Amino acid sequence: MNPTETRLTIIIPTYRGVGNLSQCLDSISAGNKVNMEIIVVDCETPTIQEWLSSHYPNVKLLHFDQDIGLGRARNEGVGMASKSSRYLAFLDSDTTVEPGWAEVLMLALESDHTAGAAQSRILLAENPTLLDHTGLALDLLGTWVSTQGLADDSVRLTLGEIFCASTAAAMVKRKVFHDVDGFDPMIRVCDEDTDLSWRVWLSGKSVIVVPRAVAYHSRGFERDLTLRRIYYSVKNRPYILLKNSGGYEMILGTSLFEFLSLISAVGLIIAGRGEEAREVFSAVSETIRGFPSAWKAHMRSLGIRKIRNSQLFAKGLLRRDIAATVWDISSKASSFQSHSVRLNVNEKAIHQLRPEEQKQTVSEVKA
């Protein structure tokens, strides 16, 4: 390969404003030693062309006047990537990275022919002593068993396998991305990375976490409670379960998730939060109506499978408990919970990553 050719394409979706995009772009350039290109895929920001041309003229832009959803936006960005690019990185516009971030991720993927995707060590921008999501495993109802909110020095993340790479800061081998058909455009917001990572695993490739590749993601519990995110979270998870799981897990998982979603909606009504309840009811209704589409997606997923989900259960990457979902639904059902209570519940989910680790402390959890 020509050393001057583009080896990496970084795709950053934006929506109705540039937000922290300048910090994101500046951090990518700092200390970079990789031949790369950056593509911003924007929805509904009228002046972004002028802004990028003025501040970052080398950044490519793909603009849409309407919201096309994150899944399709990232796919469109991949479609613009240089033919020589072998790796695809996905960053949120409110993410910044440490110098050398891209090089570390690329080296990890180049060194492991079995790996198809990699996630950075993502810290919370608002408090860098805390971890953002790391998708260690997936419970029966499609919720991440995650490091979210845990102290960075309390979790010994090592280079190794995880179930899901967060697209807040992740990298995928381009061939693998195309082999699994990229992001599902049906998943507009929430869990599009869960679906992609699951298909990477089913294609016979692994997903890994690379702790030396450090990123900072700006997020907050309040953002997770927006009506839009509540709707798509409840709508997408049954779709993803139907699409990628099989046998009794598919039936049990989707049925139980819908039931618990309805219970949470009733709880929201009792709490006087009718708008959130309507979003949950609407999402459940849409899931039922969309079953034929989910089944078609399931049949397409079968075409890429080289391993069974039973192998992921054996690795502890898929789980048959619902601890993580209980935490997730309870956090959406009440905004009055304290941050410390939420972290304690999530720590219990972390302890259940593997049966043999249940008696270990959080500091002994390995990815």
User: pLDDT tens digits, residue range 223-274?
Assistant: 545 788 888 888 999 999 999 998 788 888 889 889 988 988 898 899 888 9
Same domain, 213 and 243: no
pLDDT of residue 208: 96
Whether 321 and 128 have beta carbons less than 8 Å apart is answered as no
Kindly report, residue by residue over 14-43, the tens digit of the pLDDT.
988 888 999 999 999 988 888 999 999 999
Chosen domain end from 223, 239, 267: 223
pLDDT at 343: 38
E strand residue ranges, 74-205: 87-91, 95-97, 115-124, 127-131, 135-138, 144-146, 160-161, 169-173
Domain boundary among 177, 200, 223: 223
Range of the domain at 236: 224-364
> Hey, what amino acid is at 1?
M
| Residue 1: inside a domain | no
Instruction: Give the tens place of pLDDT for each residue, 271-298.
Output: 888 988 999 999 999 989 988 999 998 9
Contacts 24+ apart (CB under 8 A), 53-60: 55/22, 56/22, 56/25, 59/25
pLDDT band of residue 363 (cuts 50, 70, 90) is very low
Q: Is 362 exposed, middle or buried (0-12, 13-18, 19+ CB in 10 A)?
A: middle
Residue 90 lies in a domain: yes
Residue % of the chain over a pLDDT of 70: 86
In a shared domain, residues 218 and 82: yes
74-99: pLDDT as tens digits:
999 999 999 999 999 999 999 999 99
Query: Using CA atoms, how far apart are residues 96 and 122, in angstroms rounded to an integer?
Result: 10
Q: What is the mean pLDDT of residues 128-134?
A: 91
Indicate whether 239 and 208 sit together in one domain: no
Q: What is the pLDDT of residues 134-161, one digit of tens each?
A: 899 999 999 999 988 888 887 777 889 9
Global pTM value: 0.87
Residue 30 counted as domain residue: yes
- Of 223, 245, 270, the position where a domain reaches its end is 223
Q: Is residue 219 part of a domain?
A: yes
Per the CB < 8 A criterion, the answer to whether 261 and 284 are in contact is yes
Average pLDDT, the chain: 85
What type of residue is 302? Answer: L
Question: What is the C-alpha separation between 100 and 119, in angstroms, rounded?
Answer: 14
104 or 155: which leads in pLDDT: 104
> Does the pLDDT value for residue 128 go beyond 50?
yes
Same domain, 211 and 292: no
pLDDT beyond 50 at 332: yes
Enumerate the H helices of the chain as residue ranges: 21-29, 48-55, 70-79, 101-111, 174-179, 192-202, 221-224, 227-244, 247-270, 274-289, 291-302, 309-315, 323-333, 339-351
**Same-domain pairing of 209 and 244:** no
Is the residue at 282 inside a domain?
A: yes
- In this structure, the answer to whether residues 212 and 235 fall within a common structural domain is no
Residue 206 shares a structural domain with residue 244: no
What's residue 164's pLDDT?
96
pLDDT tens by residue, 314-326: 999 999 999 888 7
The predicted pLDDT at position 360 comes to 34
Kindly state whether residues 156 and 270 are assigned to the same domain: no
User: How many domains are contained in the chain?
Assistant: 2
pLDDT of 306 reads 94
| pLDDT for the residue numbered 26 | 95
What is the pLDDT confidence band of residue 68, given thresholds at 50, 70 and 90? Answer: very high
- Do 204 and 242 have their domain in common? no
Q: 3 lies in a domain?
A: no
The domain spanning residue 90 has which CATH number? 3.90.550.10
Tell me: do 67 and 178 sit in the same domain. Answer: yes
The torsion angle over the Cα atoms of residues 197, 276, 122 and 100, rounded to 10 degrees, is: 80
Q: Is residue 207 part of a domain?
A: yes
The whole-number pLDDT of residue 329 equals 63
Domain annotation covers residue 358: yes
One domain for residues 200 and 262: no
What is residue 1's predicted lDDT score, i.e. its pLDDT? 52
Note whether 215 and 108 are same-domain residues: yes
